[in-house]
Every structure is written in C-alpha cells, then in structure tokens.
Amino acid sequence: MSTVIKVENLSKKYIIAHQKRERYLTLRDTIARKSKEIGKRLLHPFVSSSGQPLAGLAGTEEFWALKDISFDVQQGNRIGIIGRNGAGKSTLLKILSRITEPTTGRIKIKSRVASLLEVGTGFHPELTGRENIFLNGAILGMGKAEIKKKFDEIVAFAEVEKFLDTPVKRFSSGMYVRLAFAVAAHLEPEILIVDEVLAVGDTQFQRKCLGKMEDIGREGRTVLFVSHNMSAIQKLCNRAMLLDNGRLMADDEPVTVINSYLHNHQPTSECWALDSKKFTHSGPVLITDIKLLDLDNNILKILFTGGGFVLQIAYKLKEGVKIPSASFIIKFKNQMNTEILRLSNTPISGFPIENLSGEGRINLVLPVIPFAEGMYYIDIALARQGQGFYVKLINVLSLYINGQDIYKSGCAVTQTRGLTVLPHKWIFKPENNASVESGWKGAELLSKPAEICRENS
C-alpha cells in the first residue's frame, strides 16, 4: 500500500501578543510615542523600541501549536484525530490542506485533497450554491464535465434544491455545511480531510456524512477525521492519533488510543451546594475521590459490554455534620446527554443510609454492563431525601464502553442496534408445526453471583 502523506518533524509556532494596561493617552502622546518608535527602528532595525531584540518583543509570547510531529499515512487509511480543545488538531489539518505554512518540518502529499475545516471553507458568499459547486470543483482540479456528472448527487445529498440559485451568504450554517460536505465528498478526492464541522449539522445529516465517509473508505480512498465523538471515531476509522499540547502522544488502533485519551483526560466537573452556589471545600460535604475499579478492586482501564465495574466514591463531612436519610445518586447518560439509567441508595432501592457523618467511601457495584458500545457520562450527587442536594457533580466521569459479540453472531453490539443489551430468547410457533425455541442470547449477561456485590460492599 503506497504512502500518500508523509509528515516529518512538523512544528508550527505562533506569536501571541499580550496587551499591557496603560494610563489613558491623548492623541498628542500617541503621535509623539509612535514618532520616537519609528526613529529608533530606522536607527536600530534589529532592536525593538524598548531596547529588546525583535525576536523577544515585550508583551509577546511564543506558542507552539504543533511540536515535532512525524507520521505516514497509507492509501486507504481512515484516521481519527482526537484530543482536547487547543491540542493542535485543527492546526494540523490546516497545514495538511496547505492553508497554513509550517514553521519547521515538511509534508509530502501525493494525491488530490478535499478539505472541510469550518463552515463556508472555499465558498464565495456572493455566489449561488450552484456556482459554488463548480467553483469548488475547479479548485480541486476537476473539469466542468466531471463536475456536471456529480452535480445531481451533490444536490440530492445536501438537500438544498430550493435554494440552489440563492447566494450562499443567505444560507443557514446547517445548509452551508450540508452543501460544503456534499461537494467535498462527491467530487472524488483521493484524500478527504474533515474537521469537527459536522457537529453543526443535525443528527440525521451527521449519520449521512458518516455513512458517506464509510463508503469513501471502502473505495480505498483516505480520510482524516477530527472529532470529539469517540463512537464515530471507532466506527469509521481503522487508526487513531492522539494530540496533546501540540505533540503526537499516541498512534495506534482506535480502541487503544481512545482509552488512553479517556483515562488521562477526564472532563472537568461542575459542583453546587444546596444554595445553588458553586460548591467549594468550605461546604459541609466534600467528595474527595472517585475511582473506577474492576470486580477485583483493581484500577479499571478498559470497559466492555457485559463486563462489570465498581464506582468508588470517597466522601468527607465537616466535624459535627450529619445527614439523615442520605442518598447517593448516580446517573448514566449517553452522548446526547439523555439519561438512560439512574441508581441510588434509597429505602425504595433497599439500601438506606440513616445517618451519614465523618468520612468514608461507598461503592456502587455493577456486575454487568448492559450498555452497547459507545461513549457514556456519569453524574454523581449526594442528597438528603426530600430536602435537596448537598453535592452535584455533572459529567464527572466519561466512559467508553467497547462492544462485544454478546450474541455470538460475529457482530459487536453498537448503538446502531440500541443503547442497551439484555439476555433474551425467541420462541417461534408456526401454524400446524412444532414450536422452535432458540437458546438464550447474551447468556453471559445473566446476573452474576451475589457474592460479587457482598465482596465489594
């Protein structure tokens, strides 16, 4: 398989200016100061007006968006690029798209590249949708006949037939993205580069885009895809790269890279006290630690559908503080922030805590994970039953659950088949024939021994 992109020791530096706080200046002061600066610059061209070398101007700072990155991309690779905001993902794509020049290093690209980096990239706002389709095709090096051949497919995919002869400056952001992606994906580039811009579109369009990128990958073309949607990365890509502070930290199979990212970069949490103000250490209750453990009480690094885990919460109350009828509440949410499971230790669930005081820990044991493959988030709260919250942690943990072939059918269970999986069987009774009964499907999801819960309590 041939190499279509080769990146060697790539770095990108920006100079950040910091504005100084100064006293109010009159127009006369400003003119006088600028005149002095011009005179000094003419006399000393390599020294700033403050007497410092130009490379180190006062009030400026060097920022390396990318630092010494090297990798190769083979034809047909579908690469997901992940990392926190500001990690350098978009800068890397801009350099690969030849929008930005690198500071050091070099890149070699053999094939034709189509990029979709932000809303309206490559579109002229005064031109109509029809005209921009031909403009983008020409930029990609395609002839008019080739563009005409794909024109109807592009328009049908973008769903903008009514507005095709309207200047795109009047398009909504969603219409902009639909048309831009349709053009980039259908004009048959050998390399397709897509940033998180798909987040602007609606859910249905996102599914269409992901399906189209899967088709492109199956055709042997190359895709570089930046996204915060870990499920999409794992579904679409056969390789993933993790960027952090401008450096390439991991380059491996998607599952390995995703779990490395999630393990080291948990999202920040938001906390409130009973009066809805920001929860601080001065409050009556403090959550001191949260851990994910396996069923043998070891730190958990990877989760699978049908496996089990322990959520351990360490708490500390101020001296003399007691919470009667205390309840820990755990919520599990999917990527769309929809609550799919709530568990709490209330009298209703059979786990009452009559008085909570001092410090300690409480373990929630899930011997079976009933969730399909994908990203999930956990909220943790501590409340007094019927009286409100003492602590509320939103998205305090993120979990990537890897699918397994639970039903022994050769396919892992993903969210395209629903969010949860349960043990079940089918009984078929055709007329005038003996009934046919299947064995239990997902048998390993049957309840684990009760001893597991007792051991971890």
pLDDT of 22 > 80? The answer is no
Domains of the chain and CATH, by start: 3-8+63-264 (3.40.50.300), 267-457 (2.70.50.60)
CA–CA–CA angle 47, 51, 54 (5° rounding): 35
Beta-bridge partner residues of 251: 241
23 pLDDT band (50/70/90 cuts)?
low
pLDDT of 7 > 90? The answer is yes
pLDDT of 272 > 80? The answer is no
To the nearest whole number, what is the mean pLDDT of the chain?
Answer: 78
- Write down the pLDDT at residue 449: 43
Q: Which among 342, 333, 382, 348 has a CA at the least distance from the CA of 362?
A: 382
Q: Which among 189, 195, 232, 183 has a CA at the least distance from the CA of 211?
A: 232
What does the buried/exposed string (b/e) look like for 207-219 if buried means 16 or more CB atoms within 10 Å of the residue's CB? ebbbebbeebbee
CA distance 368 to 305: 8
Which of these ranges, 190-204, 248-262, 321-335, 342-356, has the smallest mean pLDDT? 190-204
Query: Residue 91: which residues within 8 A CB-CB, separation 6 or more?
Result: 12, 65, 66, 100, 246
Query: Residue 230: which residues within 8 A CB-CB, separation 6 or more?
Result: 82, 258, 261, 262, 374, 375, 400
CA distance 380 to 376: 14
pTM here is 0.57
Which range among 107-121, 193-207, 387-401 has the greatest average pLDDT? 387-401
